[in-house]
Amino acid sequence: MSKLQSHYDVVVIGAGPAGYVSAIRCAQLGLKTACVDNWSNNKRQSSLGGTYLNAGCVPAIALLESAKIYHLLNHEMSRHGIHAENISVDIPQMMRRKDKIIETLSNKIVDIFNHHKITRIHAQAKLLNACEVEITPVDHSSSSIIKAKNIILAAGSSPICLPCAPIDNEFIIDSTTALSLDGAPKKLGIIGAGVIGLELACIWKKLGSEIVMLEAQENFLTLPDQQISREAYRIYTQQGLEMRLGARVISTKKGHKKVTVEYQDSEGLHCLRVDKLLVASGRKPNTENLIAAEANLMLDENGFVHVDENCRTTLPGVYAIGDLTSLGPMLAHKGIEEGVFVAEQIAGVHNPINYDLLPCVIYTEPEVAWVGQTEQALRAIGERIKIGTFPLSAAARSHAMGISEGMVKIIAHAETDAILGVHIIGAHASELIAEAALAMEFSASGEDLARTIHAHPTISEALHEAALSLEKRTLHLPVGILAS
């Protein structure tokens, strides 16, 4: 813990992507800054980076990369004329690699904090009023109060618990524990087939687990474009993910190293026995114990901090960013942008965020990514649109890489040709979506993207071809295939 002082220009509560970036930007702008964070790693040491770095995107992607290699060696290498025997997986070593990545990146944040002379406090923080924060060290030693002209709330979010499936992190586990298992469960049940559930399902399926997903909604993946969701459902089920939609969990019971799950669907009551049950039913903002009642800070009915379009709360000089607010989805890059935005606002600079162009990604294999509006949303408001699609199965690079499933879909205005939405499922979708977001940020038309020369053969030229197909003039597919 850095040396604690009593007065700061800015105190940031939380050191996830929103918090640590905001603290760094504040310090860069000459503001005396402190950052309070209570995350402790398995060594009971401070680990900056929040859920994103310690128990979210980064460890999930690290494990997915390891799982993909294992799956490739076991199931795909023979197609390349490469043969190997006695392939085995050391999951504890895989976890150690993941933990090393987390440690390295967390230490880099510490180095940046030190460089910018940011006071780092490993403690629980509570907002007392518009200018005071109570600090309680993680060792529960005596509390103290620090003051600041500005306070930025960036405490992040945590998994939602279900009364019907109480988490013990032995048999019924949360997403954090699911990223630290020392072996692949023979049969893994997952409550929730949303982003988190799918990402974890993909990892453990590739490591050998049988996966059964119970999703309460009748429709699969309602956030992306429905055409992309249908393609994702087809691909994931073909990979062996068993998804039971419209399945509402009623109760769970542990016994004999198994979990029995009772759930109901349109056909009645059913029972499912699994070795472990993962609860992946969404996340909630970490506002509990963050704000003293006497602070009179307004929250909504779901516990989100009420803010205006500038991330200002109902207390002067107090801001909330990242997962604590309902301004946009719970995404690391959304929090990062808000962290910079608020820091610069405090320093007198105003650069608003375009929430309409936040790219979204599901880190599965293949990946799903999108930016802008969906076809169903645009048709619901009567917008005149045209659609261009291109299957990755028609891209030469996809075949060479052996990952040809997926497609690119571009939605443009029927009259102005302005790009309104881009939706991708396929290899490297998380990288491809950046070009689409850039094009839309600069108000590009479908023709602009079609006229942009892309290297051949690449995966990215699928965007080019989808733009060409807006006018039914793609070069690599017969027109009849596009219409089918």
- Predicted local confidence at residue 483, as pLDDT: 37
- Predicted local confidence at residue 477, as pLDDT: 58
Per residue in 408-453, pLDDT (tens digit) is 999 999 999 999 999 999 999 999 999 999 999 999 999 999 999 9
- Predicted local confidence at residue 77, as pLDDT: 86
If one compares 300 and 6, the residue with the highest pLDDT of the two is 300
Tell me the average pLDDT of the chain.
94
Per residue in 322-345, pLDDT (tens digit) is 999 999 999 999 999 999 999 999
Is the pLDDT assigned to residue 71 strictly greater than 90? yes
- Predicted local confidence at residue 69, as pLDDT: 95
Lowest mean pLDDT: which of 213-227, 351-365, 468-482? 468-482
Give mean pLDDT, residues 152-170.
Answer: 96
DSSP 8-state symbol, 382: T
Strand order in the sheet with 276-279: 172-173, 276-279, 187-191, 210-215, 242-245
Report helix, strand or coil for 212: strand
Is the pLDDT assigned to residue 4 strictly greater than 70? no
Per residue in 29-54, pLDDT (tens digit) is 999 999 999 999 988 899 999 999 99
Residue 480's pLDDT band (cuts 50, 70, 90): very low
Report helix, strand or coil for 456: coil
pTM, entire model: 0.94
Cα(130)–Cα(203) distance, integer angstroms: 44
- Predicted local confidence at residue 233, as pLDDT: 98
- Predicted local confidence at residue 476, as pLDDT: 65
Report helix, strand or coil for 176: helix
Is the pLDDT assigned to residue 475 strictly greater than 90? no
- Collect contacts of 108-112 with beta carbons under 8 A, ≥24 apart: 109/15, 109/20, 109/48, 109/49, 110/48, 112/24
Question: What b/e readout covers 373-382, taking b as 16+ CB neighbours within 10 angstroms?
Answer: bbbeebeeee
Cα(433)–Cα(357) distance, integer angstroms: 11
Partners of 150 in the beta sheet? 10
Written as six digits, the tokens of 453 are 């020369």
Report helix, strand or coil for 70: helix
Q: Are 26 and 33 in contact (CB under 8 A)?
A: yes
Written as six digits, the tokens of 69 are 């290699």
Question: What b/e readout covers 121-134, taking b as 16+ CB neighbours within 10 angstroms?
Answer: bbbbbbbbebbbbb
Which secondary-structure segment (H or E) carries 330? none
- Predicted local confidence at residue 78, as pLDDT: 84
Is the pLDDT assigned to residue 218 strictly greater than 70? yes
What proportion of the chain, given as a percentage, has pLDDT over 70? Answer: 97
Partners of 34 in the beta sheet? 11, 119
Cα(108)–Cα(242) distance, integer angstroms: 40
* 165 CB-near residues (< 8 Å, 6+ apart): 172, 191, 249, 252, 261, 277, 279
Give mean pLDDT, residues 90-94.
Answer: 97
- Predicted local confidence at residue 129, as pLDDT: 97
Classify residue 35 as exposed, middle or buried by CB count within 10 Å of its CB (0-12, 13-18, 19+): buried
Per residue in 256-315, pLDDT (tens digit) is 889 999 999 999 999 999 999 999 999 999 999 999 999 999 999 999 999 999 999 999
Written as six digits, the tokens of 214 are 């119970």
- Predicted local confidence at residue 337, as pLDDT: 98
Cα(12)–Cα(35) distance, integer angstroms: 5
Is 456 one of the annotated active-site residues of the chain? yes
- Predicted local confidence at residue 203, as pLDDT: 98
Written as six digits, the tokens of 395 are 């891209």
Tell me which of 83, 456, 464, 476 is the catalytic residue. Answer: 456
- Predicted local confidence at residue 273, as pLDDT: 97
Give mean pLDDT, residues 69-84.
Answer: 89
Partners of 264 in the beta sheet? 248, 269
For 165, phi then psi, to 5°, come to -140, 70
**Do β-strands 157-159 and 283-285 pair in parallel, antiparallel, or remain unpaired?**
antiparallel
What amino acid is encoded at 474 in this protein? T
- Predicted local confidence at residue 256, as pLDDT: 83
How many Cβ atoms from other residues are within 10 Å of residue 476's Cβ? Answer: 17
Q: Are 424 and 407 in contact (CB under 8 A)?
A: yes
Half-sphere exposure of 311 (CA within 13 A, CB side): 33
Residue 472's pLDDT band (cuts 50, 70, 90): confident
Is the pLDDT assigned to residue 140 strictly greater than 90? no
